Amino acid sequence: FAVGVLRAGTINGRVVLDTFLIAVSLAVAAIPEGWPRS
């Protein structure tokens, strides 16, 4: 997330939002579906 914001050069709300959503979606996708539910 931080790398994407730094690569953008300027702090733009749209870039921050897009990068944040990508980071969250990758984190959720990394959770295996086979984990036991508590």
| Residue with token string 């749209």 | 14
SS3 sequence of 17-29: HHHHHHHHHHHHH
In a domain? residue 33: no
In a domain? residue 37: no
In a domain? residue 2: yes
User: 4 with 26: CB under 8 angstroms?
Assistant: no
pLDDT higher than threshold 70 for residue 1: no
pLDDT tens digit sequence for 2-28:
666 566 666 667 777 887 888 888 888
- Cβ neighbours, 10 Å, residue 12: 12
In a domain? residue 14: yes
Number of domains in the chain: 1
In a domain? residue 36: no
In a domain? residue 4: yes
| Residue with token string 């969250």 | 24
Structural domain including 21 reads 1-28
User: 20 with 2: CB under 8 angstroms?
Assistant: no
pTM (global) more than 0.75: no
Say which amino acid occupies 24. Answer: V
